[in-house]
Structure 1
């Protein structure tokens, strides 16, 4: 009898269908126009992402994006290279077209006591005080204009996890590594580009 009940229960279970979510990519104003998109599978959620970049105290980018995302791609964190800082703030949900609202602005962050190296001019031995939930040090060696360029700084744990995305690595075309511990990203290097990683980092989480 129990077996019959189990079989009937399995047969009557509703099939999991992919969600339909809003999708948009930012225009020149940093905002986007929503279109409806069916996610690749039922494993995906609806998500809104805001990417904000700063340099020298000035806001350089405030882009809003929407799409489907896997649960572990919904991140809140930042990537800090000293001369520039990029914050990611996402809002994920699990019902049909639930990502109609944009992700909120990132909260202001204070130094957290962690310290990493960052590149200043031709050297990568300058000290950078990490802020917010930046608890990892990061190093990236990328190809820009046919030359190898090194950037270093602080990063949040979730951002470091997202950086391992093979699609992002193919965009950057370089080596990326994160580590824990003060100044664990030591090594000699050449120079650092101001916002070299901002464009591919927009694809960091869910838009690759």
Structure 2
């Protein structure tokens, strides 16, 4: 009996003293070539890697963030001009790689997306993007249509995106319908990019 209590107490001491270690990096216009290893604060149970890519015409920008996170949610979204992913893991130094290779593999699903002139563009969904989404974003007082591919986790958490209303997700190819729009889409991309980089 004393041996069992001793083993139990040793287990508690070792697990209580262990803090998760994750790679940290915050860069714009590049991947994490220089990253540091940090011990996560109490309450952080995951390592996260978030990547956002914006492509407008021939201009492309990318931002990568790696850090500790208390409750990371794996997500992926592709709005045509904006693509973003967040991957999570829960073991020491598990976020060494910039991206999960499966996040760039087409999954067979396609959805409509908007570019500021039309919502009849078609994007190929990647990785865990198993839903099509349509929503309305309010940027500078203007309502802008948003469409694209998203992962189920984003559909389940529709309350966390500021200035976005009427979010609806559906399953199946091109289930989010085509529709013309005339508002500027670039402002929306900047807003969505800042949301993914700050959350």
Q: Shorter-chain TM-score: which interval?
A: 0.5 to 0.7
1:91 touches 1:103 (CA, 8 Å); kept in 2?
A: no
Unaligned stretches of 5+ residues in structure 1: none
1:40-66 CA-to-partner distances (Å, cap 9, x unmatched) read 415x2223333333344x451222211
Q: Which residue of 2 aligns with 1:164?
A: 157
Compute the displacement of 1:196 (Å).
Answer: 1.6
Q: Which residue of 2 aligns with 1:144?
A: 139
Three-state SS of the structure 1 residue aligned to 2:161 is helix
Structure 1 residues 146 and 45, CA, compared in 2 at 3 Å: closer, same or farther?
same
Q: Which residue of 2 aligns with 1:48?
A: 49
Number of residue pairs the alignment of both structures matches: 190
Distance 2:158 2:42 in 1: 17
Q: Which residue of 2 aligns with 1:23?
A: 24
2:78 pairs with 1:86: no
Structure 1 residues 120 and 199, CA, compared in 2 at 3 Å: closer, same or farther?
closer
Q: Which residue of 2 aligns with 1:61?
A: 61
Q: Which residue of 2 aligns with 1:130?
A: 124
Compute the displacement of 1:94 (Å).
Answer: 1.1
- Normalising by structure 2, what TM-score? 0.68
Compute the displacement of 1:185 (Å).
Answer: 2.1
Structure 1 residues 164 and 89, CA, compared in 2 at 3 Å: closer, same or farther?
closer
Q: Which runs of 4+ in 1 moved over 6 A?
A: none
Q: Which residue of 1 aligns with 2:188?
A: 196
1:117 touches 1:186 (CA, 8 Å); kept in 2?
A: yes
Structure 1 residues 187 and 127, CA, compared in 2 at 3 Å: closer, same or farther?
closer
Q: Which residue of 1 aligns with 2:169?
A: 178
Structure 1 residues 64 and 127, CA, compared in 2 at 3 Å: closer, same or farther?
closer
